[in-house]
Amino acid sequence: MRIAFCLGLLAVQGCGSDGGAGNDLAVPPDLSSVGPTALINAAPDLVGFDTVLDGSQSADSLGRALSYKWHLVSAPAGSAITDAALSSTSAVKITFAPDLGGDYQIALEVSTTDGAGGAASTQAKVTVPTLPLFFHQGTFTASGMSASVGVLRSDGSGQRLLSCPVSPDGGASELGWAFNSMFSVSTWQPPPGSAQKALFAFPEIVPLGGGVNDNQLLVADETSNCATQAPPRIDQSSDAFYSTHAHLWPRFSPDGSRVMWVDNPQSPGFSRLVTVNVGGSNLRVIRSTSADLSSAPPVWVDDTHVAWVEETGTAMAPKPIIYQSSDLSMAGDSSTAPGDRAALIDCTGVLTVVNQFAILTKGGTTALIVAGGSKKKANGGALNLYRMANGNCSQVTVLAGEPAGGDAGDFALSPDQSTIVISTTHGQGIPDGGPTPQHDLFTLPSDGSSAPVFFAGDPLVDDLGPHWLANGRQLFWTQAGAGVSGSGVRGAGLVIANADGTHQRSLYAERSSGGVDTIVLGGSNSGISCAYGGALTGGAGTLLLLLAGLFAIWYARRSRGI
């Protein structure tokens, strides 16, 4: 009995809260958790920017100081990135500049600096994103030309054709395709991080034989492939879309749900401003008129309002007026809805031509950026870039002035409307860095607060047709001119750079091999094609003949002096 009592007393004491016998009988701690833990936090960015790798969340259970050892385990196929490209292999936080998009496998080993705590390691897959952008590809052989629209990624990878090559038929259809399509692609980019796909709208003239062509308007997404997933046409239901001329300048609404373009139907013979859902439904004819609606690409003011240039007067002395109308309320010409159409600017007597315009709504004020001129270039006129306020052409500021015969006709406005990038010849107020004629890229603030600043160019090449990517952090354009003797790679092609001009690199270059010349272009924003002679003349001699016909068509259509 006494033995049982002692054992019971001992059990009670062991459960006590006074810290006595309880400590002596506690289960020993799990020593397997003592030591460091490795953890990687990554902030991958586009090619052209640094990707950040952060090991600062790694820790030691006893709070001891850690040392770090980074290692690049693998990189995308074709990448030249190795451990030597890491900003450090021993810092807590490091960076590297990826040369390709895709998956990079990163390893981190941490150990206590006193050597007593052991080491721990971990790996992380870091996916560097890319953005899709379009290109125009013309292939020239001794027998003729074919042309297509394609897509590639912003690291230069993944080139493929959205539309299969249009075969030459011996007629003018190739020229028509080149004139109307090489400068008519529109892109809608989803917001960063969105699961939506980028969209591309472009016209195409397909030869049917016997001198008959089928004019199509296509909408592709970034996964389209002409061979396996051809983009659908959205213009099948009405004669309004079957025309002798291509659908000019398709433009997506800001939300990507609709496409607008200038159409020239066979019957009636009027220019039409048309919008339609990206699936081809809910057609709206905003304007139908015998006046010229194709002197400048139309623009979306917002998701429900559109603006265009309508020219009155003779062909040699047009008087452009920029109008605005509501797309949302329109099932027919806005003349049937009084008050729906308003003239934003009447440039009668100020400008004889408008090549391109943009509407600014930044900061609660409305202004227009206009590329245009007051008289024909042949008569010493020039195309300048203007800012116009209060809907009045007489209240104008020259943002970029050109010399006689100069051409400041192609520009792109950044997504936040703060910056303009313009392709311009050397001239008044523009730094002259090479022989003329020479097209370089310049940037300037949209409010005109400072003069243009050189962005990109070289004395041997032209830089043309700038396009902002949707995030506003990068641009791509056509670089045209100098060839590389004997290399098979010519100087024309697509170039991309960060918005500050850094990390400029070639994406896709013109090539010549086995009697086949491949021309690569990014296209313009304004429809101006004369500047692209430098981009195209690097091809075969047959190309020069095609260009002669192309520019003959261009000058005939634009005899008003552009």
- Convert the pLDDT of each residue in 241-300 to its tens digit: 444 555 678 999 999 999 998 877 665 567 788 899 999 888 888 888 877 777 788 999
pLDDT digits (tens, 9 = 90+) for 460-482: 677 888 999 988 999 999 887 65
Percent residues over pLDDT 90 in the chain: 32
First to last CA, the chain: 118
Q: Which of 56-60, 309-313, 386-390 has the highest mean pLDDT?
A: 56-60
**Nearest one of 242, 234, 243 to 277, comparing CA atoms:** 234
Going from N- to C-terminal start, the domains of the chain cover: 37-128
Q: What is the pLDDT of residue 112?
A: 94
pLDDT mean over 497-520? 86
pLDDT digits (tens, 9 = 90+) for 510-540: 777 888 888 788 888 886 543 333 333 333 3
Which pTM value belongs to this model?
0.82
- Tell me the CATH number of domain 37-128, given options 2.60.40.10, 3.30.70.990, 3.40.50.720, 3.40.309.10: 2.60.40.10
Q: For the chain, how big is the Rg over CA atoms in Å?
A: 31
- Is 204 a residue whose pLDDT tops 50? yes
pLDDT mean over 438-450? 88
Quote the crossing angle between the two packed helices 173-181 and 541-557, to the nearest 10°: 70
Residue bearing the bigger pLDDT, 79 or 14: 79
- Is 146 a residue whose pLDDT tops 90? no
- Is 379 a residue whose pLDDT tops 80? no
pLDDT digits (tens, 9 = 90+) for 352-373: 778 889 999 877 777 889 888 7
Residue 129: strand, helix, or coil: coil
**Nearest one of 472, 412, 480 to 442, comparing CA atoms:** 412
C-beta neighbour count of 355 within 10 angstroms: 28
> Among 125-129, 272-276, 387-391, 556-560, which is the least confidently predicted range?
556-560
pLDDT mean over 7-36? 46
**Phi, psi (rounded to 5 degrees) for 36:** -80, 160
Instruction: For 171-247, list the strands marked E by DSSP.
Output: 186-188, 199-209, 212-221
| CA gap 502, 521 in Å, rounded | 21
> Among 87-96, 499-508, 536-545, which is the least confidently predicted range?
536-545
Residue-level length of the chain:
562
- Is 452 a residue whose pLDDT tops 80? yes
Q: What is the pLDDT of residue 217?
A: 84
Q: What is the pLDDT of residue 220?
A: 93
Q: Are the beta carbons of 251 and 259 closer than 8 angstroms?
A: yes
| CA gap 16, 166 in Å, rounded | 91
Burial-class residue 213 by CB neighbours within 10 Å (0-12, 13-18, 19+): buried
Contacts of 519 (CB under 8 A, 6+ apart): 136, 137, 138, 139, 140, 492, 510, 535, 536, 538, 539, 543
Q: What is the pLDDT of residue 404?
A: 57
| CA gap 452, 429 in Å, rounded | 8
Residue bearing the bigger pLDDT, 445 or 541: 445
**Banded model confidence at residue 89, pLDDT cuts 50, 70, 90:** very high
Q: What is the pLDDT of residue 87?
A: 98
Q: What is the pLDDT of residue 145?
A: 72
State the chain's mean pLDDT as an integer.
75
pLDDT mean over 16-34? 48
